[in-house]
Amino acid sequence: MKLLNGIFPAQCVICEDLFVFEDQNLFCCSCLSAVKKEKVYYCRSCGNKIENCQRCLRKRFFDDIRIFKNNDRQITEILYYMKIKGFKNLSSTVSGIIKDDIKNFVKENKINLITYIPLDRKTLKERGFNHLEEILREIFPSFLIQDAVEKTRKTKLQMELSRKERLKNLKGAFRLKRDIKGKRVLIFDDIMTTGSTMLEIYKAIKKGKPEKVYGYLIAR
Residue ranges binding Zn ion (CB under 5 A): 12, 14-15, 28, 31, 43, 45-46, 48, 53, 56
Three-class SS of residue 177?
A: coil
Q: State the maximum Cα–Cα separation within the chain, in Å, rounded to a whole number.
A: 68
CB 66, min distance to Zn ion, A: 14
Pairing label, strands 174-176, 149-151: antiparallel
Q: Which is nearer to Zn ion, 12 or 180 (CB)?
A: 12
Cβ-based neighbour number of residue 204 at 10 Å:
22
Task: Give me the least distance between CB of 12 and Zn ion, in Å please.
Answer: 3
* Identity of the residue, 44 or 151, whose beta carbon is nearer to Zn ion in the bound complex: 44
Q: How far is the CB of 28 from Zn ion (least distance, A)?
A: 4
CB nearer to Zn ion: pick between 14 and 204 = 14
Q: SS3 breakdown of the chain: % helix, strand, coil, rounded to 5?
A: 40, 15, 45
Dihedral angle, C-alpha 25, 28, 34, 37, nearest 10 °? 30
Minimum CB–partner distance for residue 74 and Zn ion (Å): 8
Cβ closest to Zn ion, residue 35 vs residue 139: 35
Question: Which CB, 29 or 179, lies closer to Zn ion?
Answer: 29
Cα(18)–Cα(12) distance, integer angstroms: 6
- For 183, how many CA atoms within 13 A lie in the half-sphere containing its CB? 22
Minimum distance between the CB of residue 2 and Zn ion, rounded to whole angstroms?
Answer: 27
Taking CB positions, which residue lies at the least distance from Zn ion?
53
